């Protein structure tokens, strides 16, 4: 975990003090390349464990409970947030329905208002940062499934290496599955909530 924190700090310092046009222009490509390399090595680790897929079958239909409970927990968090912040329940639900996918939810909610889009972006970015910092602790102290749920939709991509490092290989497959289900749910959930609450 210290390596992850150190990487974020060094990246922030480099981005702030040593910003160059090349770094700005190609930063998305560097991020994609780094993410692909991380996922490549996670794939090797999963493939190296021959019992992963047989262990996955033992979960059966229960594997669907993880993404659905993550959705319910996130939406409940949005409702609680709306009670303590100056936003409506509909806005709280719309923000939390991003499930960690900050780019899509922020863009969709920016069509309603710039403020709502900004809050959705920051909320999901903070969720990812918090997940990076807490997944190792949650996996060790509470449980593997709980650590996956913390990541939300990013369990299938940017946080998969963190989940893989903190848990066994069979948990990485479950994390990927959960992330796919959650990522697929976001483009459905956000517009439904916007329409139901007439935002």
The whole-number mean pLDDT for each consecutive block of 10 residues of the chain, a chain of 199 residues, reads 68 79 74 68 65 67 89 96 94 95 82 88 91 94 94 89 86 87 89 93
Q: How far apart are CA 128 and CA 4, in angstroms?
A: 13
What is the distance of C-alpha 106 from the center of its chain?
A: 14
State the burial class of residue 36 (Cβ atoms within 10 Å of its Cβ: 0-12, 13-18, 19+).
exposed
Check if the beta carbon of residue 190 is closer than 8 Å to that of residue 109. yes
Per-residue model confidence (pLDDT) at position 56 = 63
CB environment 10-21: b (16+ within 10 A), e (fewer): eeeeeeeeeeee
**pLDDT given at position 43:** 67
Residue 186 CA to residue 166 CA, distance in Å, equals 26
Note the pTM of the prediction, 2 decimals: 0.75
* DSSP 8-class letter at 20: -
Domain boundaries in the chain? Answer: 35-196
Q: Look at residue 170 in the predicted model and tell me its pLDDT.
A: 76
* Virtual torsion, Cα 82, 84, 85, 89, nearest 10 deg: 10
């Amino acid at each position: 975990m210290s390596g992850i924190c150190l990487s974020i700090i060094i990246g922030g310092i480099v981005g702030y003090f040593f910003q160059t046009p090349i770094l700005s222009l190609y930063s998305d490509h560097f991020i994609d390349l780094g993410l692909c390399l991380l996922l490549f090595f996670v794939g090797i680790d999963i493939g190296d464990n021959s019992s992963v897929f047989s262990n996955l079958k033992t979960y059966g239909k229960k594997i669907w409970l993880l993404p659905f409970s993550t959705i319910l927990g996130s939406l409940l968090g949005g409702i609680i947030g709306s009670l303590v912040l100056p936003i409506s329940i509909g806005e709280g639900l719309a923000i939390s329905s991003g499930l960690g996918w900050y780019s899509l939810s922020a863009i969709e909610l920016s069509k309603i208002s710039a403020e709502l889009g900004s809050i959705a972006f920051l909320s999901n970015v903070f969720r990812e940062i918090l997940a990076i910092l807490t997944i190792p602790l949650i996996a060790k102290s509470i449980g593997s499934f709980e650590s996956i749920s913390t990541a939300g939709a990013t369990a299938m991509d940017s946080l998969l290496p963190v989940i893989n490092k903190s848990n066994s290989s069979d948990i990485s497959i479950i994390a990927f599955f959960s992330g796919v289900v959650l990522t697929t749910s976001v483009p459905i959930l956000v517009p439904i909530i916007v329409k139901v609450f007439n935002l």
